[in-house]
Structure 1
């Protein structure tokens, strides 16, 4: 199946080269969202749904046309499609961004939406690990899944949905209605990938505890998806994530994910990041077998 081949090559390209120094499609999607909001914003679900549907349609149609043109070009087209597909995967960027927090804790402000001015070192470490686990799903497994199953169209429609959620899917006075459609759409799109990610985290850390208990803790999160990979990595590392967190000056009392120690150390970030090499090997081997036998 050609989509598996594209996904395999795309993953390897991201692994070797990381982000290309060109305008990222997500930036273009973000620009469209800002333009639409500036012109058509209303405090209504309908206006937000119009934004979501219009962006998904535009991205879907453009991706579909481009994909079919490229696949008509044979092997060169497959390679070009994989190059584009790699831009939907943020594996290297995520790893390097979280790793930098170990020696540059102030950079946590670039990775999270929570208030960061008065975080303790343990809270910074906790935020870094939570971000890594959640974004393994949003930035790696989910786009790779949609790329392998639905090709470039699937991968970039997913990125459009994820970008909508990250920009307008907030529960505040401005976006509670306008961003509701985008937030729900993102919930649906991540329903399966988030659980795949949680299972992979548990298996790659060889943690029976995580496999057995992630379902109990994962369902406690306000999000129907984010709690599963966060719970899996907390249980695998023997730590406790979640808890009281400040957003826009307000304390949100999240439930705890995991039942280990609450004090999170820098070494725990290193331990969390060790999954990357195992994940790289697993994905490359799995996709290679898929290309050979499908």
Structure 2
């Protein structure tokens, strides 16, 4: 277990957020775009080769970095590894990006940077719903999941997870272009997020003012979405806030019918998003406490 590394990396992300350098995810995105331009074919095999290639490249690079850090003095190796690992955590960036919607002069444009759905016809309620869903789902994808794999496998673990997550965000769409090409990436992402999504839902339930309602919502609604994972944190947040999330939305010009998660006991508005974002403090406290306990027990 890599509790010390995870704790230091999490603290670095809390204090400094994104580091002023080209993010590893950008390098991964460049690799994916280059591969797609040269070898694209809407078949499973080219997509699978892309997934395997990026994972191998990511693992080899991260293992080499761990080896090089091992050559440093012991007092320096851990901080350097922690700085590298912190680039895979996104609590600071996620909170800031979602919170920006609260003060944006053009909320539709702000939310379009966070979601893949069409935003032109969104109402004010739709904008805040999309922001809440982004906050819930990315607590798993951007915070809990990378931290989970960092604790288990160190730098190679978080690097491999970010590669899978980046592939999912770029090519795992059920469109004509990506239906088969992105199939392997989508399956890998579903597998990688299976446990973290459920841990995130549990975390949100623990932070809810009405834990019973939040938990009942998870039990009732978490399996309603097409994704095997996204419904868990979203339904937990819907229950915690007493609102209805998900529902119909437009993607690539087509209306997609989705079930509503939660119950619309309260309106979805500016104050709802403020309330959800306040969970950051509780998430930080629980995560830091678990990591500290882990260090003590290891």
Which TM-score band applies after superposition, normalised by the shorter structure?
A: over 0.9
Counterpart check, 1:80 vs 2:85 = no
Residue of structure 2 equivalent to 1:266: 270
Match of 1:37 in 2: 36
Q: Distance in 2 between matches of 1:170 and 1:204?
A: 32
CA distance in 2, matches of 1:279, 1:25: 25
What CA distance in whole angstroms lies between the structure 2 residues aligned with 1:196 and 1:253? 27
What is aligned with 1:195? 198
SS of the aligned residue for 1:176 comes to: coil
Report the CA distance between 1:262 and its aligned residue.
Answer: 7.0
Question: Which 4+ runs in 1 deviate beyond 3 A?
Answer: none
Matched, 1:62 2:61: yes
Return the offset for 1:18. Answer: 0.4
Within the alignment, does 1:110 sit opposite 2:109 as a pair?
Answer: no
**Within the alignment, does 1:101 sit opposite 2:101 as a pair?**
yes
Question: What TM-score does the superposition give when structure 2 sets the normalisation length?
Answer: 0.96
Q: Within the alignment, does 1:50 sit opposite 2:49 as a pair?
A: yes
Q: What is the rounded CA distance, in whole Å, between the counterparts of 1:113 and 1:72 in structure 2? A: 43
- Separation in structure 2 between the aligned mates of residue 216 and residue 261 of structure 1, nearest angstrom: 16
What is the match of residue 92 of structure 1? 92
| 2:256 paired with 1:252 | yes
- The alignment's TM-score, normalised by the length of structure 1, stands at 0.97
Question: What is aligned with 1:119?
Answer: 122
Q: CA deviation at 1:288?
A: 1.0
1:174 matched to 2:177? The reply is: yes
- Worse-matched range after superposition: 221-230 or 242-251: 242-251
Instruction: Give the distance between the partners of 2:67 and 2:265, measured in 1 at CA.
Output: 52
1:241 aligns with 2:245: yes
SS of the aligned residue for 1:77 comes to: helix
The alpha-carbon deviation at position 215 of structure 1 amounts to 2.5
Once the two structures are TM-superposed, the CA of residue 261 in structure 1 deviates from its matched residue by 3.5
Q: Which residue in the other structure is 1:215 paired with?
A: 219
Contact map agreement 2:217 2:238 (CA 8 A) in 1: no
Matches of 1:243 and 1:128, distance apart in 2: 14
Consecutive unaligned residues in structure 2, runs of 5 or more = none
Cα RMSD after superposing both structures: 1.1
* Residues 230 and 241 in structure 1, CA contact (< 8 A), matched pair in contact too: yes
Kept after mapping to 1: 8 A contact 2:28/2:54:
yes
For 1:31 and 1:68, how far apart are their aligned partners in 2? 25
For the residues of structure 2 that align with 1:273 and 1:233, how far apart are their CA atoms? 11
Query: How many residue pairs were aligned?
Result: 293
Q: Which runs of 5+ in 1 are unaligned?
A: none
Q: Is the 8 A contact 2:89 2:147 kept in 1?
A: yes
Residue 9 of structure 1 is matched in structure 2 by: 8
Question: Following TM superposition, by how much is the alpha carbon of 1:49 offset from its aligned partner in structure 2, in angstroms?
Answer: 0.1
Counterpart contact for 1:235–1:260, Cα < 8 Å:
no
